[in-house]
Structure 1
Amino acid sequence: MTSSPIPPSAAFHAEARERLTALTGRDADFRPGQLEAISALVEQRRRVLVVQKTGWGKSAVYFLAAHLLRRRGRGVSLIVSPLIALMRDQIAAAARAGVSAQAVNSANAHEWDSVVEALAADELDVLLISPERLANPRFRDEVLPGLLERLGMLVVDEAHCISDWGHDFRPDYRRIGEIVRGLPTEVPVLATTATANSRVVDDVAAQLAPAGDTSDQQVMVLRGSLSRDSLRLGVLTLPESEQRIAWLTQHLGSLTGSGIVYALTVSQAQDLTRHLREHGHEVAAYTGQTDPDERQQLEAALKENRVKALIATSALGMGFDKPDLGFVVHLGAPSSPVSYYQQIGRAGRAVDSADVLLLPGQEDVRIWEHFAQASMPTQQRADAVLTSLAEHPEEPLSAARLETMVEIRRSPLELLLKVLEVDGAVHRVRGGWVSTGQGWQYDAERYDTILRLRRAEQQAMLDYERLEPGQCRMAHLAGTLDDDAATACGRCDTCAGPWYPRQLDQDSVSQARASMDRVGVEIAPRKQWPTGLAALGLSLKGRLGPGEVAEEGRALARLSDLGWGPPVREALQSEDAAVPDQLAGAVVRVLSEWDWPRRPDVVVSVPSRRHPQLIASLARGVAQVGQLPYAGALEPVEGGPSSSPEANSAFRLAGLLGRFSVPEQMASQIQGAAVLLVDDEVISRWTLTVAARELRGAGAEMVLPFTLGMRG
Structure 2
Amino acid sequence: MVTSVPPESVLATSATDPAMREAAERHLRALAGPSARLREDQWRAIHALAAERRRALVVQRTGWGKSAVYFVATALRRAAGAGPTVIISPLLALMRNQIAAAERAGIRAHTINSSNMTAWEQTYAEVAAGAVDVLLVSPERLNNPEFRDRVLPELAAGAGLVVIDEAHCVSDWGHDFRPDYRRIRTLLRDLPAGIPVLATTATANERVTRDVAEQLEVGDGAGTLVLRGSLDRASLRLAVVDLPDSTARWSWLAHHLPELPGSGIIYTLTVAAATETAAFLTECGRDVRAYTGQTDPEDRQRAEDDLLNNRIEALVATSALGMGFDKPDLGFVIHLGAPQSPISYYQQVGRAGRGVDRAEAILLPGREDQEIWRYFSSLAFPPEQTVRRTLDALAAADGPVSTPRLETEVDLGRSRLEQMLKVLDVDGAVRRVRGGWVTTGQPWSYDAERYAAVTAAREREQQAMLDYIATDGCRMEFLRRQLDDPEAAPCGRCDSCTGRRWSAEIDPERRAAAAAHLARPGTAVAPRKQWPTGMAALGVSASGNIPAGQRAQEGRALARLTDIGWGTEMRRLLAADAPDDPVSDRVFQGIIDVLAAWPWEQRPAGVVAMPSRTRPRMITDLAARLARVGRLAPVGTLDYTHPDGPGPRRHNSAQRLAQVWNALTVGEPVAAALATLDGPVLLIDDYTDTGWTLTLASRLLREAGADAVLPLTLATRG
* 1:87 match: secondary structure: helix
Amino acid at match of 1:426: V
* 1:37 match: secondary structure: helix
| 2:661 aligns with one of 651, 657, 661 | 657
User: What is the CA–CA distance in structure 1 between the aligned matches of 2:335 and 2:650, rounded to whole Å?
Assistant: 30
Amino acid at match of 1:686: W
Q: State the partner residue of 1:72.
A: 80
Deviation at 1:195, TM superposition (A): 0.5
Q: Does 1:489 align with 2:495?
A: no
- Contact conserved, 1:382 with 1:440, CA < 8 A, in 2? no
Amino acid at match of 1:119: V
Amino acid at match of 1:132: E
The one-character-per-residue Cα deviations of 1:261-285 (angstroms, maximum 9, x if unpaired) are 1111111111111111111111111
- Contact conserved, 2:650 with 2:659, CA < 8 A, in 1? no
Moved more, 408-417 or 164-173: 408-417
User: What is the CA–CA distance in structure 1 between the aligned matches of 2:120 and 2:163, rounded to whole Å?
Assistant: 20
Q: State the partner residue of 1:323.
A: 328
Moved more, 311-320 or 518-527: 518-527
Moved more, 94-103 or 664-673: 94-103
| 2:703 aligns with one of 697, 702, 705 | 697
The one-character-per-residue Cα deviations of 1:48-98 (angstroms, maximum 9, x if unpaired) are 110011111111101111221233343333221113323344234334434
Q: Does 1:708 align with 2:714?
A: yes
User: What is the CA–CA distance in structure 2 between the aligned matches of 1:212 and 1:257, rounded to whole Å?
Assistant: 46
* 2:556 match: secondary structure: strand
Q: Does 1:293 align with 2:298?
A: yes
Q: State the partner residue of 1:275.
A: 280
User: What is the CA–CA distance in structure 2 between the aligned matches of 1:586 and 1:505, rounded to whole Å?
Assistant: 25
Moved more, 146-155 or 265-274: 146-155
User: What is the CA–CA distance in structure 2 between the aligned matches of 1:499 and 1:111, rounded to whole Å?
Assistant: 51
Q: How does 1:451-490 map to 2 (within 5 A)?
A: 451-468=455-472, 471-490=473-492
- Contact conserved, 1:662 with 1:695, CA < 8 A, in 2? yes
Q: Does 1:408 align with 2:450?
A: no
User: What is the CA–CA distance in structure 1 between the aligned matches of 2:285 and 2:85, rounded to whole Å?
Assistant: 48
The one-character-per-residue Cα deviations of 1:289-316 (angstroms, maximum 9, x if unpaired) are 1011111011111111221111111111
Q: How does 1:516-531 map to 2 (within 5 A)?
A: 516-531=518-533
Q: State the partner residue of 2:689.
A: 683
Q: State the partner residue of 2:568.
A: 566
Distance 1:643 1:651, change over 3 A: farther
Deviation at 1:385, TM superposition (A): 2.7
| 2:436 aligns with one of 432, 444, 449 | 432
Q: Does 1:361 align with 2:366?
A: yes
- Contact conserved, 2:538 with 2:658, CA < 8 A, in 1? yes
- Contact conserved, 2:553 with 2:710, CA < 8 A, in 1? yes
The one-character-per-residue Cα deviations of 1:20-62 (angstroms, maximum 9, x if unpaired) are 1222242421124111111122222222110011111111101
Deviation at 1:550, TM superposition (A): 2.0
Q: State the partner residue of 1:34.
A: 42
Moved more, 153-162 or 317-326: 317-326
Q: Does 1:310 align with 2:315?
A: yes
Deviation at 1:373, TM superposition (A): 3.0
Q: Does 1:575 align with 2:575?
A: no
Q: State the partner residue of 1:590.
A: 594
| 2:105 aligns with one of 97, 109, 121 | 97
| 2:620 aligns with one of 616, 619, 629 | 616
Distance 1:262 1:38, change over 3 A: same
What runs of 5+ residues in structure 2 fail to find an aligned partner?
none
Amino acid at match of 2:34: R
The one-character-per-residue Cα deviations of 1:188-208 (angstroms, maximum 9, x if unpaired) are 221100001111011111111
User: What is the CA–CA distance in structure 2 between the aligned matches of 1:546 and 1:104, rounded to whole Å?
Assistant: 40
Q: How many residues align?
A: 706
| 1:670 aligns with one of 664, 671, 674 | 674
Distance 1:297 1:644, change over 3 A: farther
- Contact conserved, 1:50 with 1:222, CA < 8 A, in 2? yes
- Contact conserved, 1:534 with 1:540, CA < 8 A, in 2? yes
- Contact conserved, 1:375 with 1:415, CA < 8 A, in 2? no
Amino acid at match of 1:604: V
Deviation at 1:351, TM superposition (A): 1.0
What runs of 5+ residues in structure 1 fail to find an aligned partner?
none
Distance 1:192 1:604, change over 3 A: same
User: What is the CA–CA distance in structure 1 between the aligned matches of 2:650 and 2:303, rounded to whole Å?
Assistant: 33
Q: State the partner residue of 2:59.
A: 51
Amino acid at match of 1:94: A
* 2:378 match: secondary structure: helix
Q: State the partner residue of 1:167.
A: 175
Amino acid at match of 1:579: P
Q: State the partner residue of 1:150.
A: 158
The one-character-per-residue Cα deviations of 1:445-472 (angstroms, maximum 9, x if unpaired) are 111111110110011111111111xx11
Distance 1:626 1:204, change over 3 A: same
Distance 1:329 1:646, change over 3 A: farther
- Contact conserved, 1:3 with 1:218, CA < 8 A, in 2? no
Moved more, 379-388 or 102-111: 379-388
User: What is the CA–CA distance in structure 1 between the aligned matches of 2:186 and 2:524, rounded to whole Å?
Assistant: 48
Q: State the partner residue of 1:545.
A: 547
Amino acid at match of 1:433: W
- Contact conserved, 1:17 with 1:30, CA < 8 A, in 2? yes
Amino acid at match of 2:352: A
| 2:262 aligns with one of 257, 260, 284 | 257
Deviation at 1:655, TM superposition (A): 2.0
Amino acid at match of 1:63: F
Q: How does 1:631-646 map to 2 (within 5 A)?
A: 631-639=635-643, 642=646, 645-646=649-650
Moved more, 66-75 or 474-483: 66-75
Distance 1:349 1:600, change over 3 A: same
Runs (4+) off by over 6 Å: none
Q: Does 1:222 align with 2:227?
A: yes
Distance 1:542 1:116, change over 3 A: same
Deviation at 1:595, TM superposition (A): 4.5
- Contact conserved, 2:685 with 2:712, CA < 8 A, in 1? yes
- Contact conserved, 2:242 with 2:504, CA < 8 A, in 1? no
User: What is the CA–CA distance in structure 1 between the aligned matches of 2:218 and 2:552, rounded to whole Å?
Assistant: 61
- Contact conserved, 1:78 with 1:154, CA < 8 A, in 2? yes
Amino acid at match of 1:69: R
Moved more, 446-455 or 171-180: 171-180
Amino acid at match of 2:58: V
* 1:262 match: secondary structure: strand
Amino acid at match of 1:156: I
Amino acid at match of 1:687: T
Q: Does 1:240 align with 2:245?
A: yes
User: What is the CA–CA distance in structure 2 between the aligned matches of 1:63 and 1:37, rounded to whole Å?
Assistant: 12
User: What is the CA–CA distance in structure 1 between the aligned matches of 2:492 and 2:695, rounded to whole Å?
Assistant: 59
